[in-house]
Amino acid sequence: MSYGIPSVEPSAQVPVCPRHPDRPSYVSCQRCGRPACPECQRAAAVGFQCVDCVNETKRTTPAVRTVYGGAVTEGKPLVTFGIIALCAVLYVLQWLIPGDEVYQNLAFATVYATPEYGVFEPWRMLTSAFLHSQGFILHIVLNMYMLWMFGQALEPLLGRIRFLAVYILSAIGGSVGYLLLTAGYVPGQPLTGVVGASGAIFGLFGAMLVVQRHRGGDTRQLWVLIAINGVIGFMVPQIAWQAHLGGLVTGALCAAAIAYIPRGPRQHLLQFAGLAAVLALLAAATWYRVVGG
């Protein structure tokens, strides 16, 4: 003896699933009333809804956003972990690829922002932020720890795209700060390359400071953290305090462009216009240093 649905087509009186006409379905969607087979049923607050109604609700329901306009996301801060992973991969490649090729092709020095020397490679102002010193492992460890700490706080608040924009602009701002506050390249002398995420990390310091003030939070611990790290930059040799300062100012400007834009239908447009203005300011400062400075 066998049990189950007969292989013959159901009669017209038997309700069938619209998506699977060969399946009799005795459960109706609570929203549209159409039959839905077990594969097409989705649990709702009361009973079930069909998959079509669920998808339609997702399309018509506005995305939940943070106070700063970013889409609310659940789970881990993916951008933060992605940046950490990229830095880790490049650090491993620095050891594996012979001839110091990774450093030679991605590190930043003032000469690479000066076209007159024939090696104009401005992208190094960003790529250098993903490299770290091979001779001092705490360089990458401490930077990635700070990125993990501040990324977990800022990325959910700002949203992934805005957080990534703040980080990238702060990395560039660190290189611009180093360019502005360092003596120009002297032909014949050895190049001194700059690497490290410190400028971008200081940008997160500045961004968090602005966000905390905007939210009415206590900023004293942040000021202490910034002061301690700033003093270390002056006391320890081979630390580019200029990049720290440039990143800090850039991160604060980026966060201000995001946090102090009034909420409304044009919030996103105005925020990204503000971020574009920060990028334009960095480009203008670079041009002034190279051409007029």
* pLDDT over threshold 90, residue 223: yes
Q: Assess if residue 70 is contained within a domain.
A: no
Q: Assess if residue 153 is contained within a domain.
A: yes
Is 161 found in the same domain as 23? no
Domains in the chain, number: 2
Q: How confident is the model at residue 34 (pLDDT cuts 50, 70, 90)?
A: confident
Is 43 found in the same domain as 85? no
Q: Assess if residue 69 is contained within a domain.
A: no
Q: Assess if residue 72 is contained within a domain.
A: no
Give the pLDDT of residue 130. 97
Q: How confident is the model at residue 72 (pLDDT cuts 50, 70, 90)?
A: low
**Domain containing 234: what range?**
78-292
For the segment 198-227, the average pLDDT, to the nearest whole number, is 94
Is 109 found in the same domain as 34? no
Q: What does pLDDT average to over the chain?
A: 86
Residue 119 and residue 174: Cα distance in Å, rounded?
A: 20
* pLDDT over threshold 70, residue 103: yes
For the segment 231-259, the average pLDDT, to the nearest whole number, is 92
Is 87 found in the same domain as 3? no
Q: Assess if residue 66 is contained within a domain.
A: no
| CA end-to-end distance (rounded Å), the chain | 94
Q: Assess if residue 232 is contained within a domain.
A: yes
For the ranges 1-5, 18-22, 59-63, the maximum mean pLDDT occurs at: 18-22
For the segment 149-170, the average pLDDT, to the nearest whole number, is 95
* pLDDT over threshold 90, residue 235: no
Residue 251 and residue 271: Cα distance in Å, rounded?
A: 14
Give the pLDDT of residue 114. 80
Q: How confident is the model at residue 286 (pLDDT cuts 50, 70, 90)?
A: very high
Give the pLDDT of residue 206. 97
Is 83 found in the same domain as 57? no
Q: Which residues are tagged catalytic? A: 198, 244
Residue 106 and residue 99: Cα distance in Å, rounded?
A: 13
Q: How confident is the model at residue 129 (pLDDT cuts 50, 70, 90)?
A: very high
Residue 207 and residue 227: Cα distance in Å, rounded?
A: 15
Is 148 found in the same domain as 51? no
Is 288 found in the same domain as 200? yes
For the segment 182-195, the average pLDDT, to the nearest whole number, is 75
Is 184 found in the same domain as 209? yes
The residues near 33 (Cβ < 8 Å, ≥ 6 apart) are: none
For the segment 168-194, the average pLDDT, to the nearest whole number, is 85
* pLDDT over threshold 80, residue 117: no
More confident residue, 76 or 162: 162
Q: Nearest to residue 230, comparing CAs of 205, 197, 194?
A: 205
Residue 38: CB atoms within 10 Å? 11
Give the pLDDT of residue 47. 72
pLDDT in tens, 258-277: 999 888 888 889 999 999 99
Is 169 found in the same domain as 98? yes
CATH code: domain of residue 106: 1.20.1540.10
Is 207 found in the same domain as 128? yes
Q: How confident is the model at residue 232 (pLDDT cuts 50, 70, 90)?
A: confident
Give the pLDDT of residue 281. 97
* pLDDT over threshold 80, residue 187: no
